Amino acid sequence: MELKKQHFLKSIENSKGIILSLCRVYFPDSEDQKDAFQDVILQLWKSFDSFRGDSELNTWVYTISIRTILNKIRKLKKSVSHDRLDGNLAVAIPLTDDNKELLNIIIQQLNEDDKALVVLFLEGYRNKEIAEILEITPTNVSTRLNRIKSQLKLKYNQTSDAVRRS
Amino acid sequence: MQLEDLKNSWHQYKFLNSINRCSSSEILAIIEGEVDKTDLRVKRFVGNLVMVLAIIMICQGG
């Protein structure tokens, strides 16, 4: 096997979980997930030469993966009806803790740009880093995150009230 | 409930997905498929170029 391929496989070995998670967050259908996974791997491979280790490997993987997935969704939106992409298909999140339902709701209800924002926030990136990955301004990141947090609070309170009443 | 509270859930989710990860041979098949496609494109381009050059030479009486 070529040295470059070996190096690539070794580099992304521990990042497959990130790629697969992102594919599952954005695509409810397993065939679409596989498709997206292949696209992301190809893009990572194509841009592997440009990765010089200036940024952390995971940051590079997140950057390429999110950009590839968002581009794929934009292309799909041109050819597929909008309903299919934003429909309420259940995202199978194999979690066992109490936050499973909430994470599920968030992932289903956010638009594709906000999903990326929330995922990067949950990953622990700071606003400046998120801004660089998503190619937006840190102010924009902060504003959008605050809006999402307020929405989340509201939704959670409504859900809690409904549970208490039943 | 804060968004921060979901950080653990996200890490758990990522961990579970990393268990079901695909093998290195599958990754290799994906990138080698692309390398083959690129080779094919180059071969087609060279073939077409040779054809065009041959036609130009014939048309010029060479």
Note the pLDDT tens digit of each residue in B9-60. Answer: 888 888 888 876 678 888 888 888 876 667 777 888 888 899 999 999 888 8
Q: Render B1-62 in DSSP notation, one character per residue.
A: --GGGGHHHHHHHHHHHHHTPPPHHHHHHHHHHHHHHHHHHHHHHHHHHHHHHHHHHHHTT-
Q: Look at A20 and B31 and tell me if their CB atoms are within 8 Å.
A: no
Report CB contact under 8 Å: B34, A122: no
**What ipTM was reported for this prediction?**
0.74
pLDDT in tens, A89-144: 344 555 555 566 767 777 778 888 999 999 999 999 999 999 999 999 999 999 99
Domain boundaries, chain A: 1-89, 95-166
The arrangement of secondary structure in A1-89, i.e. its CATH architecture, is: Orthogonal Bundle (1.10)
Test mutation, B7, B31, B37, chain A, max A CBs within 10 A: B31
B34 touches chain A (CB under 8 A): yes
Please give the CATH topology (third level) of the domain spanning A95-166. Arc Repressor Mutant, subunit A (1.10.10)
Window 90-109 of A: residues touching B by CB (8 A cutoff) are 93-97, 99-100, 102-103, 106
Within 8 A by CB and 6+ apart from A152, the residues are A102, A106, B1, B2, B3
* Residue B23 contacts A, CB cutoff 8 Å: no
pLDDT tens digits, one per residue of A72-96:
999 887 665 444 434 333 445 555 5
Task: Yes or no: say if A110 and A148 are a contact pair by the CB < 8 Å rule.
Answer: yes
| CB neighbours of residue A131 within 10 Å | 19
> What sign results for the dihedral spanned by CA atoms A72, A75, A80, A85?
positive
**For chain B, which residues make up each domain, given as ranges?**
38-62
pLDDT digits (tens, 9 = 90+) for B48-61: 899 999 999 888 87
DSSP string, A24-64: HHH--SHHHHHHHHHHHHHHHHHTGGG--SSS-HHHHHHHH
Section A38-65 average pLDDT: 88
Confidence band (pLDDT; 50, 70, 90) for A64?
very high
